Structure 1
Amino acid sequence: MRLFLLIGQSNMAGRGPLEEPDVNAEPEKNIYKLDDNGGWLNAKEPVHNDKPKLVGVGPGLTFARTVLGTLSGEKIGLIPCAVGGTKIERWVPGGDLYERAVARARLALESGQLSGILWAQGESDSELAADAAVYKDRLFSLITSLRKELDAEEVPFVAAKLGGFIRPEEYPYTGQINGALESAATVFDRFFLAASAGLIHKGDYLHYNAASAKELGRRMAEGWLNLQ
């Protein structure tokens, strides 16, 4: 089984409104997700369960469907670890969410091989200058350490730019965060940065609506495929 680690904050976890056809869709036959108890379930929306009252459609399942469509006779396992409203300080070595992601990934590795790491995060670090100033160093630490700990030096790392609809008066350092992500794309091998141009928020100028979350998943999948 090909495994994909999903990390970041709410736009990775998914906040797109759950509507038809996702609400009553049958679980996927060849796409699985690691549940909170460490077991495998056939995946359907929502993939994450970080905040049960808020969680919705994210990019992960569409990413998996897109990738699976190019493979023959394979299965995909998603390892959902994203948590809404989190700063990158919790995703660097020693941070609680970093350690949890590593532990869940290692558990999942008993069932397959790690084929990709997906990252969508940065909104929470774009509010304050102090957070934005250290974002690039923390991002580089995350990428380097995660690949090393999971013996994944050659595993593709696919990140997403922050949405272009974010209000600068509320998140004034969005450009600096996107700049750090762009810098990572020039420094690290097998790194792809998915564009957010044209994607639409769900009315809050912060979270993707369901259609845009799915489109982001497709873009991230295309980036992963280009790294093969």
Structure 2
Amino acid sequence: MSSLIWLVLLSCSTLVISTKNVSEANASQGKSIFILAGQSNMAGRGGIKRGIWDRYVPPECKSSQKVLRLNAEHQWEEARPPLHRDIDYLKTCGIGPGMAFANSILKKNLNIGDIGLVPCAIGGTQISEWRRGGPLYNQLLSRAHAALQVGGIIRAILWYQGESDTRCQEDAKLYKKRLEKFFTDIRSDLKLPELPVIQVALASSEGPYINEVRKAQLGIHLPNVKCVDAKGMKIGHDGLHLSTEGEVQVGQMMADAFAHFLA
């Protein structure tokens, strides 16, 4: 997988991304692009029981001609759950927050054109695996470049990750520093220093240090970073991943948070 990532990066190395070079008029003719990144609760495990997705798609996650998805081959197609089926392909994917987010954005009539979702989340990953120069980081960059080739503007990064960092006290202790660096680095490499980031504070964990990680997430004070809190959302049968209902709620909360950036 890493060889493919580097080939894509090389092919996109001459592309320059900058909000200064993309007018609102040009953006409306293309897409409003949202990068979906993190681990399994972003990839989507809603509706999964014993490794099988129940295939139920709630009304909030129905497909629309105005919502597209960048697939693993870097081609745009009509988005439909599971959004991460060919990205987080080693795991069973179900309902995540992405479609509920996109449909909620459309209902708000924000006048930002069609929605382009770029799935990048990989289940079970720690924040250290998203460090600059690593395979996950590079894959995110390459997919962001590919998404921009037909026009549009990257509007925000949607980030839901941290459950894996609750297993070890040292990882939980370093989480805030690592997360802030990830946000800063990805903005720098995308040449979008003010790019909005909407992150999710954990509802569940893999280990005992959830409070430390949640404190770090809620304590990020970088400009244009908003945090929505998933605490109290309904958890699925495995006790770790959000239920379909919970994923829909988180997607809608992220849409509300994004709307505040445009207010």
- TM-score, length-scaled by structure 1: 0.91
* RMSD of Structure 2 on Structure 1 (CA): 1.8
State the alpha-carbon separation in 2 of the partners of residues 162 and 73 from structure 1: 29
Measure, in 2, the Cα distance between the counterparts of 1:48 and 1:215: 18
Deviations 1:8-43 (A, max 9, x none): 0000000001443459x8632100010000000100
Q: Residue 125 of structure 2 contacts residue 164 of structure 2 at CA under 8 Å; is this kept in 1?
A: yes
Which residue does the alignment assign to 1:207?
241
User: Of 50, 65, 89, which residue of structure 2 is paired with 1:29?
Assistant: 65
Q: Higher helix share goes to which structure?
A: 2
Q: Deviations over 1:131-190 (max 9, x none)?
A: 112111110110001111112222210000100x54xxx511111111111121xx2111
Instruction: For residue 59 of structure 1, report the CA deviation from its aligned partner.
Output: 0.3
Name 1:124's counterpart in structure 2: 164
> For the residues of structure 2 that align with 1:81 and 1:195, how far apart are their CA atoms?
21
Quick one: distance in 1 between partners of 2:137 and 2:227?
20
Instruction: Name the amino acid aligned to 1:87.
Output: Q
Which residue number in structure 1 is paired with residue 125 of structure 2? 86
Structure 2: how far apart are the matches of 1:74 and 1:68?
A: 9
Q: Distance in 2 between matches of 1:220 and 1:27?
A: 18
Residue in structure 1 matched with residue 107 of structure 2 by the alignment: 69
In structure 2, C-alpha distance between the alignment counterparts of 1:66 and 1:198, rounded to whole Å? 21
CA radius of gyration, larger in: 2
Q: Does 1:10 align with 2:48?
A: no
Q: Distance in 2 between matches of 1:137 and 1:89?
A: 11
Aligned partner of 2:95 in structure 1 is 57
When residues 30 and 135 of structure 1 are mapped into structure 2, their CA distance, relative to the original with a 3 A threshold, is same
In structure 1, C-alpha distance between the alignment counterparts of 2:260 and 2:197, rounded to whole Å? 12
Gaps of 5+ in 1: none
1:98 is aligned to 137
The 8 Å contact of residues 67 and 117 in structure 2, kept in 1 or not, is answered as yes
Residues 199 and 33 of structure 1: is their aligned pair in 2 closer, same or farther, counting only changes over 3 Å? same
Call closer, same or farther: CA 1:51–1:158 in 2, change over 3 Å: same
SS in structure 2 at match of 1:227? helix
Secondary structure (helix, strand or coil) at the match of 1:134 reads helix
- Distance in 1, matches of 2:91 and 2:167, equals 24
- Tell me, yes or no, if the aligned pair for 2:42 and 2:160 is still in contact at 8 Å: yes
1:194 alignment counterpart: 228
The 4+ residue runs of structure 1 with deviation greater than 6 A are: none
Counterparts of 1:159 and 1:150 in 2: how far apart (Å)?
18
